[in-house]
Structures are given as structure tokens and as C-alpha cells.
């Protein structure tokens, strides 16, 4: 699959089978991530591969975040909600958690560090698609919570930027639609 085809046909696959994903395949996806562009070659990414019982680390963090906001975490309703939060980490056989670990080198713009990790995530999504796998990039408030940082041993200045849920698609072929680039593009200057 060429890169243009991969860009046009990749979709967020939120439902995957629990089939085991070979380590070599996961490594290919991670390798694609580290080839993302990054200003000053800081390589500001850190990846965590969660498989098997290792997914509990994420599930427990999600449950702990939910528990923190509950008035009565011991109620049956709260326990049910906490169990659902814990189960979210088991929706895919593999989760790649991607964090930014900004450098403290003088002159490096922190926002560019984030951009590099976002580019790495896109590379990994495209690589997964080209290898015949389904993936979805999950984010949201819990992703950025201090409890997630603590669960993954990240520094205060680091930030988890997403969880790539990875597996064999269980959704069939999905069609995509985008607004034409012309509606989002301004051309400045004439061709010389």
C-alpha cells in the first residue's frame, strides 16, 4: 500500500478482535513512530506497549481517576462504573500509550515537542493500517490527568498524548469523508 492510499483509506477502528498481535508487527509500528519529524532531533516520545495483564496499569489508572471524582465510591452504582472504567483497557489486545517527554535544551520550543509526538502517532496509525490492522487513537481528559502520569512514571512536565488501541478489525470496511482541501486552503502569491 502506498502512503497516499494509506492516508485515504485509514479509519479509526474502535472495535477489534482479541487475536494476538505478533511482537514483530508491534515493533514495525513502533519503528514507524520513531521516524516522525522532530525539530532538533530531540525524539521527545516515549511509548508503553500494554498487552495481556499489562493493560491493567491503564485500566486501574482510569478507574482511579473516576474514583477521585465520586462522592460514594463504595456504592454498587459506583462499583459498576469503576469496573467499566477498568474494562476500557481490555477493548484491544494491544495498546500503545504515547507520551511526550519534552527536552529542557535551550531554544527548543515545547509545542514542537508535542507536534513531533502527534506525528509519531500518525505514523503508527498509518503503519498499523498498512499492516492490515485496525487502530484507534483515544484521548480525552483522563489521558492528560496526573494519575496517568503517575501510573506510567512520567515527570510533571511530561504528558500522555494518547492510547493507540490496536488489533484485527471487527468492523468491516469503513468509508471516510472529508471536506475538500480547497475550502481550507488559501493560496498566497502566483507561480513564478
Total domains in the chain come to 1
User: Is residue 190 in some structural domain?
Assistant: no
- Whether the per-residue pLDDT at 92 is higher than 90: the answer is yes
Q: What CATH number corresponds to the domain at position 48?
A: 3.40.109.10
User: Is residue 184 in some structural domain?
Assistant: no
CA distance 131 to 163: 19
Map residue 153 onto helix, strand or coil: coil
User: Is residue 135 in some structural domain?
Assistant: yes
Tens digit of each residue's pLDDT (9 = 90 or more) over 35-91: 999 999 999 999 999 999 999 999 999 999 999 999 999 999 999 999 999 999 999
- What is the CA 38 to chain-centroid distance, rounded? 18
Stretch 123-131: mean pLDDT, rounded?
98
User: Is residue 120 in some structural domain?
Assistant: yes
Map residue 183 onto helix, strand or coil: helix
96 forms beta bridges with 49, 164
CA distance 36 to 31: 9
- Whether the per-residue pLDDT at 192 is higher than 80: the answer is no
CA distance 15 to 3: 24
What's the pLDDT score for residue 175?
Answer: 92
User: Is residue 143 in some structural domain?
Assistant: yes
- Whether the per-residue pLDDT at 1 is higher than 90: the answer is no
Tens digit of each residue's pLDDT (9 = 90 or more) over 17-39: 999 999 999 999 999 999 999 99
| 107's grid cell | 531554544
User: Is residue 63 in some structural domain?
Assistant: no
Assign 94 a pLDDT band (cuts: 50, 70, 90).
Answer: very high
Enclosing domain of residue 150? 15-52+91-171
Q: Could you give the percent of the chain with pLDDT greater than 90?
A: 97
Q: Which residue has the cell 484507534?
A: 136
Amino acid at each position: 500500500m502506498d502512503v497516499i492510499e494509506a492516508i485515504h483509506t485509514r479509519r479509526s477502528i474502535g472495535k477489534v478482535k482479541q487475536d494476538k498481535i505478533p511482537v514483530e508487527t508491534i515493533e514495525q509500528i513502533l519503528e514507524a513512530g520513531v521516524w516522525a519529524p522532530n525539530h532538533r532531533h530531540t525524539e521527545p516520545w516515549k511509548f508503553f506497549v500494554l498487552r495481556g495483564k499489562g493493560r491493567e496499569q491503564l485500566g486501574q489508572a482510569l478507574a482511579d481517576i473516576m474514583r477521585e471524582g465520586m462522592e460514594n465510591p463504595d456504592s454498587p452504582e459506583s462499583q459498576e462504573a469503576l469496573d467499566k472504567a477498568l474494562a476500557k483497557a481490555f477493548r484491544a489486545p494491544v495498546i500503545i500509550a504515547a507520551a511526550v517527554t519534552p527536552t529542557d535544551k535551550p531554544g527548543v520550543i515545547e509545542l514542537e515537542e508535542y507536534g513531533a509526538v502527534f506525528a509519531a502517532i500518525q505514523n503508527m496509525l498509518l503503519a498499523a493500517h498498512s499492516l492490515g490492522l485496525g487502530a484507534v487513537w483515544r484521548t480525552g481528559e483522563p489521558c492528560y490527568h496526573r494519575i496517568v502520569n503517575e501510573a506510567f512514571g512520567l515527570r510533571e512536565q511530561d504528558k500522555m498524548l494518547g492510547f493507540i488501541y490496536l488489533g484485527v478489525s471487527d468492523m468491516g470496511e469503513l468509508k471516510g469523508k472529508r471536506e475538500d482541501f480547497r475550502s481550507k486552503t488559501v493560496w498566497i502569491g502566483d507561480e513564478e
